[in-house]
Structure formats: structure tokens, C-alpha cells
Chains A and B, each alone.
Chain A
């Protein structure tokens, strides 16, 4: 070890530059891998509905019917037409869907009537759906029951005075937040103007994501109310597996058949909606992968360039060492150890930089803290990369014949 270090002392500047490059690479790569891991975790979350069997559409008519009775009859006509389509198992109207980024309503709900702020949970998303909403969306209840037919009521959370439907299905996260450690079934929830309305929990689901995942509402803080007509007017169809795309194509024609004056604003398969939702995450992951790949390639090429230079520069010395008894293996190991030392120095500096960079990102972009497990990953990647890069030049060095020692360069 000692002779390697004293040899490196003769090339201080070059060594410092390589160490610096490896350190920067290490810092960027470990944070990059961490950000990728974060986004992948979000993308793998279950929506809680039947992703591959749903189709949804939104339409607005011209001169929208103003009374709720005429709205209800129009909605009923639309739903009847949609249910009549071949391969459609069921159809409902909802205000929103998980990850659809539209029609999100947030509200505060309370454990007690007229409760003080301490008794309420805020930024809870309200889903509302018409008869059959649980089965159509494919929501799996882990506890309790589905809504009964008479529980679907004419309710609009924006008109504060009206009483809410008698029952509600909530997510496990909401239950934990409202009544930690208690059985949520049958518990009352107060909502509406001054928390005057009351509804009771009849079911709990483990998975149902919000219309969008954000810091205020988290991923799945929501509840589902049974209604006869949902503002937002999102038609959701559950189809047989094979006919989803055909249903999607025919849907505008069927809706036009009921009322040709309408404007169909949205018409998508639900899996496309989910995929669109994660578009930015995918784009960022690709960008990071390209940057990480390029950085590693660049660093490897830099190491190759330097090692080749050193091998060339030391050909004479290598010859002398070979002539006085060093084996090819000794020479090979010399360059490998040298590389290991340089990379290790880079990694030590790089880990420090990685933590600093992460602190900066945490402050500026609200990223979570970098878990320490990511640091060894980056370290191992760089060690392997260094060894791989030095192998070629080191083999060339090992191939230097002892006779070189007798020649002048």
C-alpha cells in the first residue's frame, strides 16, 4: 500500500481532479437514485378501483337544465343508454375518480356536532357516486357493507343546508385519523355548514386514492357518499375485459343519441388516465436515468483516460519491476489497488457532498431526507465502475515485458 500512496503523491493535481469528479458523480448519482425510488413508490400505489375495466366521459349540454328534477331525468336517460351498450356491465355518475385530477372537493369533517377545530379533520376529499358506485368502480371493502338502495339521496355538498346521505364509506387512512385505534363502523361524521349534517360510517376500504396526490390531502384521505346525482357529471362505465376500447370509441355516439346538442369534453379509458397522471414522474425518471448513465459513462471514460496515461508514463518502471521479479499479477493488482484508493477517496468526499446536496434539495424542493441505505449503493456502483474502467489499462500494464527495462524510452 505504502509505495502506491507515495507514487500518487507525485501526481497530486491529477489525483485531486479524479477524486473530485468521482465525488460529484457520487453525490449526484445517490440523490438521483433516491429521487427515482421515491417516484417509483408513488407510481406503484394501488388506485383502489378496477383500472383496466373502466371507461369514463364528461359532457355538458347547451343551456344546462337548471332544476334538479330535469337534471335527474337527463342523467337517467344517459345512464340507461350507456348501460344498453354491448359489454358494459354497469354505469354510474360520479364527481371524480382516483388520479383523474378533476372534480376534487376538499372539506373539513368533525367527530362531534358543531365541533371545535380540535375535533375536525380537514382537506378530506369527498367522492360522490350514484347507485351501484362501489361495484362499478370495483372498490373492495375490507370492513362493513355496500350502500343500500334507499341510501342514495339528492345531495350537493356546496349547498350547505341540505342534509347529507345517511351512510358513508371511508378509507382506512381517514378512519385512522378520525378514530385512531377504534372500530370506525357506525361512527358519526359531521359535515356541511357549521358541521350541522351527520352521516354514519357503514364501510371501510383499504385502498382508494385521491383525485390527485398532494401535500395537503395526502394520498388517500377521502370518503364516498351515495347520491342520486353527482355534480361534475362524470360517467363511469365498467366493461367486460375485451370490449373496453370498442366501448370507448362508441361512447360519444351513444351519448349524442340521447342529446345531440351536448359537447363531450372528456372520453378516456381509465388506465390512460392513470398513465397520464404519472407522465411527469416517468419523464423525470427517464431524465434522471439518462443523466446518471451519462455521468457514470463520463467518469468511467475519465478513469480509462487517466489510467492509460499513467500506464504509458510508467512503462519503463513497470519493466524494471518485472525484471526484478514482480509477476504480471503484481502489476495488475498495483493498478487495481491504486484505482481502489482513488475511488474510495472520491466516495468518502462524495458521501459528504451527497448529504449536503440532499439537505439543499430538502430545503428547496421539499424532498424527503436521503435514507443512509442509498449511500452504500452509490459507493458499490462507483467501486465496480472504477475497477471495470481500470481493467483494460491495467492488463496492458501487466503485459509490459521485463525487457523494456533495458531499453531507453
Chain B
């Protein structure tokens, strides 16, 4: 039966090539535009650590003085050195990490090639285990290395390739500015999207090339980078004395494996704030938050407004395309009233007419889906060539590819429902009489 409907549909579509092409084009345009934008949104709202994100939390506390205090306002979203160290050494989570971004001057071992800047991350030791960082060779450092201010470094595969060849980077000396570090690990390709652990660098920042123990980097005065907010009247802090400044510039993450741990940590944050207030460091009443990873991304609005606007535009466009398709299908089906009347008079049931018309619509949908897929590939190619941070990630994966075709098919069949229902209501007698 399906073969017969298919044959009928094919003949009908061939009979009016212009109208058919118009419908395929309309669906293709709508699907292409919306899939391009949905893919970009899909990439930008992806979970960077699907296996672990529910167990990783970002706390917030409110260390500011009473100036400009309004109850209920969100607390600051980074940490001062003292608070980060207090939370780190309290060890209330399964793992915790304090860190900040930086920029280092890499001096290649071959004397003649030029020095260059590389993005760095100064972090405590749990970073690698907490975030499941894949190592190609070697590994991270220990808490002990951190405390001893050991001069060790973990570098990215790209940087290792550039400086030593990735295979024999471990054990080499890495010169950063005036200081020398021993390479103890090479990180394999690792590019979490978004750059969740430090959103102040830009939500879609590339993973850093150099990782140094936090205490070591601070002791040596390696340059930090990223956002800093200060309060009080101390003026801008002296970069060499950041540890005592009334400024927040560090990130802190904690791993909490059970709901009980999460609850305990919430209480701990309040308790910590009260304790600091008693000591006179904090002035405001406790104002704490504890976001899980996805909640933290949401709180920080990592998806730019312009992308949302474009997605909205694409969906509006898709809607017009669908209305257009409904109208054209209606015209196409009604135009064939006499043919359908003859089929009805010959004994075809309403259901079989309906099925036949939907088969025809499905063919259009599939063709439109393929056209849309090609357009989406083109659209994403254009997005990848834009100078925006998220550009390299705009790729169509298999799931989205399947979704495109399914969406096109469903949209078209849905659009065909009403016209097909109208068309199979024809009175055979009336149509035949006019003939």
C-alpha cells in the first residue's frame, strides 16, 4: 500500500515542479536557519562535565563592608585570598580547589626563538582530579607540593609539542620569565565548553597552556589575570601584596558527593560568615550561595543575549515557513479535489486518502530536511568563521543531524494534517458532478 502511495505522491510532486520546489525550499530555509541557531545554542549550553557536574559546587560569600549594602543583593562571585585559603584548608568537601588565572612569559629552551605569552592557571592540587583532567604523560602535583611551593608545572599537549615534543616533555625544565619549573605532567586535549571553572576570562575561553601550584606562582609573583573587584578605600591594590587586599580575584570549587554533604556545606558557609563577622573581618550579615555547576553557568548568563536573539529570530522565521507550507499544501491538495473525488468514488476510504496525502507531505519534508541540513552546514560554516569565542565549537554532531531530519519531517507532516483533513472531506458526488 505504501509503495502505491509513494508512487502517487511522486507523480503528483512531479506534475507541479515549481510548487514542489517552493515547498521544499520553504521548509529547507526554515529548518536550515533554526537548526543553525539551535546547534549554536546547544553547544553553548552544553554540560562541560556530564559525569560530574551535579557533584561540583561553586560557593559564594559576602566579605564586603557595609558601604552600599542592600539586603538580598547577590554576594560577590569571586574570593579574596584569605577566604579562599580558609575554605581550602577547612577541607569540608570531598575535594576543593582554589585558583586564579594568569599570564606567563614562556622562554623556549632553544635560545634563539622568541619568548611568548601563554595563558596560565595557578591552582591548588585537587584541580586535576576534581575536573577529570586527562593526562597524556605524568600527572598533577600534591597538596604537599603546594605547601612547599614546589617549582613544578603541568603543561598542555600543544605547548609541550611546541617546546620539547610531547613525548619527552616530562622532566624537562620550563622557563617562565625569570623562574625555572620542572614539567611533571602533560595534559591531553582538554577543552571544556564553556570555560566553566573561571567565567571571568570569557565564557568560552580556551583551556590554559600552563598550570602552576597556586602558592608557588604567588610566591614568585607570576602575573595574574582576570577580573578583580575591590571595596573600601584602599585604592588599587599593590600587585605584589595581593594576599591582604580587600579584593576578590580567586575562584573556588568544591566537590560534594551526597545531599547530606551539600546541606552540611551550606551550613558551613553561613557558620564561616558568622565567625568572620565575629572576628571583625566581615561586616555584613551572612549572605551565602552554593550553586552546582550548571546552576553556576545559568547564574552567570553564559549564553550571550545576541545568540538568544538570533535563535528567537530563527524560530520566528521557521514559523513563517510553516504557515507558508500549510497554505501551499492546502492549495495543492484542494486543487486535486476532483482526482481525490474519483478515488473516493472508486472505494478508497477517507483514511487511505489521508495516508496518501501525508505520504506526499513526508516526501516534501524529507527533501526539505536534506535542503535544511545543507543550509545548516553552510550556516555553521559561517558561524565558525566569525571572530567570536564560541566559533570553533559550532559543529553539527550526529544527534543534531538526526534531530534536523526528524524536525523537518515532523514539522511538514504536522503542517500537512490540516490540509489533508480538509482535502479528504470532499464529497465525491459533488466533485464528480462538476466534472
A contact residues vs B (CB 8 Å cutoff): 13-14, 17-18, 20-21, 24-25, 27-28, 32, 60, 62-63, 158-161, 193-194, 261, 263, 265, 276, 279-280, 283-284, 287-288, 291, 294-295, 298-299, 301-302, 305-306, 309, 312-313, 357, 361, 364-366, 409
Cross-chain contact B235 with A17 (CB below 8 angstroms) = no
Closest residue of chain A to B304 (Cβ to Cβ) is A280
Residues of A within 8 A of B335 (CB): 309, 312-313
Closest residue of chain B to A158 (Cβ to Cβ) is B236
Interchain residue pairs with CB less than 8 A apart (10): A17-B323, A161-B235, A193-B235, A261-B115, A263-B115, A279-B386, A291-B33, A298-B324, A306-B328, A409-B435
Closest residue of chain B to A283 (Cβ to Cβ) is B386
Residues of B within 8 A of A62 (CB): 105, 107, 115, 177
A287 CA to B311 CA in the complex, in Å? 12
Residues of A within 8 A of B177 (CB): 62-63
Is B19 among interface residues, defined by CB-CB distance under 8 A?
yes
Is B309 among interface residues, defined by CB-CB distance under 8 A?
yes
Residues of chain B in range 303-321 having any CB-CB distance to chain A below 8 Å = 305-306, 308-310, 313, 316-317, 319-321
Cross-chain contact A21 with B115 (CB below 8 angstroms) = no
Min distance, Cβ B67 to any Cβ of chain A, angstroms: 11
Cross-chain contact A21 with B178 (CB below 8 angstroms) = no
Residues of A within 8 A of B334 (CB): 14, 309
Cross-chain contact B313 with A291 (CB below 8 angstroms) = yes
B interface, by DSSP: helix, strand, loop or mixed? Answer: helix
Cross-chain contact B324 with A284 (CB below 8 angstroms) = no
Cross-chain contact A160 with B105 (CB below 8 angstroms) = no
A159 CA to B236 CA in the complex, in Å? 7
Min distance, Cβ A104 to any Cβ of chain B, angstroms: 13
Is B233 among interface residues, defined by CB-CB distance under 8 A?
yes
How many B residues are at the interface, by size bracket?
35 or more
Top 10 nearest A-B pairs (CB, nearest first) are A160-B235, A158-B236, A17-B327, A309-B331, A21-B323, A302-B324, A24-B320, A365-B305, A28-B316, A305-B328
Cross-chain contact A17 with B330 (CB below 8 angstroms) = yes
Min distance, Cβ A239 to any Cβ of chain B, angstroms: 26
Cross-chain contact A21 with B327 (CB below 8 angstroms) = yes
Closest residue of chain B to A288 (Cβ to Cβ) is B313
- Given A17-B330, A276-B387, decide whether A63 and B320 contact each other with a Cβ distance below 8 A: no
Cross-chain contact B321 with A298 (CB below 8 angstroms) = yes
Closest residue of chain A to B37 (Cβ to Cβ) is A287
Cross-chain contact B236 with A28 (CB below 8 angstroms) = no
Min distance, Cβ B235 to any Cβ of chain A, angstroms: 4
Cross-chain contact B327 with A365 (CB below 8 angstroms) = no
A402 CA to B319 CA in the complex, in Å? 41
B contact residues vs A (CB 8 Å cutoff): 19, 22, 26, 29, 33, 105, 107, 114-117, 177-178, 233, 235-236, 305-306, 308-310, 313, 316-317, 319-321, 323-324, 326-328, 330-331, 334-335, 386-388, 418, 422, 434-435
Q: How many A-B pairs fall under 8 Å by CB? A: 109
Cross-chain contact B320 with A298 (CB below 8 angstroms) = yes
Residues of B within 8 A of A357 (CB): 316
Residue in B178, B235, B323, B387 whose CB lies within 8 Å of A279: B387
Cross-chain contact A25 with B320 (CB below 8 angstroms) = yes
Residue in B19, B233, B327 whose CB lies within 8 Å of A194: B233
Residues of B within 8 A of A159 (CB): 235-236
- Given A287-B310, A298-B26, A365-B309, decide whether A18 and B327 contact each other with a Cβ distance below 8 A: yes
Residues of A within 8 A of B422 (CB): 13
Cross-chain contact A28 with B313 (CB below 8 angstroms) = yes
A161 CA to B321 CA in the complex, in Å? 64
Residue in B317, B323, B387 whose CB lies within 8 Å of A291: B317
Residues of A within 8 A of B178 (CB): 63
Residues of B within 8 A of A161 (CB): 235
Min distance, Cβ B327 to any Cβ of chain A, angstroms: 4
Residues of B within 8 A of A364 (CB): 305, 308-309
Residue in A265, A302, A305, A365 whose CB lies within 8 Å of B117: A265
A345 CA to B308 CA in the complex, in Å? 31
Cross-chain contact A14 with B320 (CB below 8 angstroms) = no
- Given A14-B330, A24-B316, A298-B320, decide whether A361 and B233 contact each other with a Cβ distance below 8 A: no
A366 CA to B6 CA in the complex, in Å? 50
Cross-chain contact B317 with A28 (CB below 8 angstroms) = yes
Q: Most chain-A CB neighbours within 10 Å: which of B105, B115, B323?
A: B323
A298 CA to B320 CA in the complex, in Å? 9
Min distance, Cβ B98 to any Cβ of chain A, angstroms: 26
Min distance, Cβ B323 to any Cβ of chain A, angstroms: 5
Min distance, Cβ A247 to any Cβ of chain B, angstroms: 22
Residues of B within 8 A of A305 (CB): 19, 22, 327-328, 331
Residues of A within 8 A of B19 (CB): 305
Residues of A within 8 A of B388 (CB): 280
Residue in A284, A288, A306 whose CB lies within 8 Å of B331: A306
Closest residue of chain B to A357 (Cβ to Cβ) is B316
A261 CA to B313 CA in the complex, in Å? 50
A169 CA to B305 CA in the complex, in Å? 36
Closest residue of chain A to B317 (Cβ to Cβ) is A291
Residues of B within 8 A of A21 (CB): 320, 323-324, 327
- Given A13-B330, A361-B309, decide whether A294 and B387 contact each other with a Cβ distance below 8 A: no
Residues of A within 8 A of B320 (CB): 21, 24-25, 28, 295, 298-299
A142 CA to B327 CA in the complex, in Å? 61
Min distance, Cβ B90 to any Cβ of chain A, angstroms: 33
Closest residue of chain A to B19 (Cβ to Cβ) is A305
Residues of A within 8 A of B117 (CB): 60, 263, 265
Q: Knowing that A159-B236, A193-B235, A265-B117 are A-B contacts, what are 4 other residue pairs whose CB atoms are under 8 Å apart, sorted by A's residue number? A: A17-B323, A21-B327, A160-B236, A364-B305
Residue in B116, B327, B387 whose CB lies within 8 Å of A14: B327
A260 CA to B294 CA in the complex, in Å? 46
Min distance, Cβ A10 to any Cβ of chain B, angstroms: 12
Min distance, Cβ B44 to any Cβ of chain A, angstroms: 15
Closest residue of chain B to A194 (Cβ to Cβ) is B233
Closest residue of chain A to B309 (Cβ to Cβ) is A365
Min distance, Cβ A406 to any Cβ of chain B, angstroms: 16
Closest residue of chain A to B240 (Cβ to Cβ) is A66
Q: Most chain-A CB neighbours within 10 Å: which of B105, B115, B308, B327?
A: B327
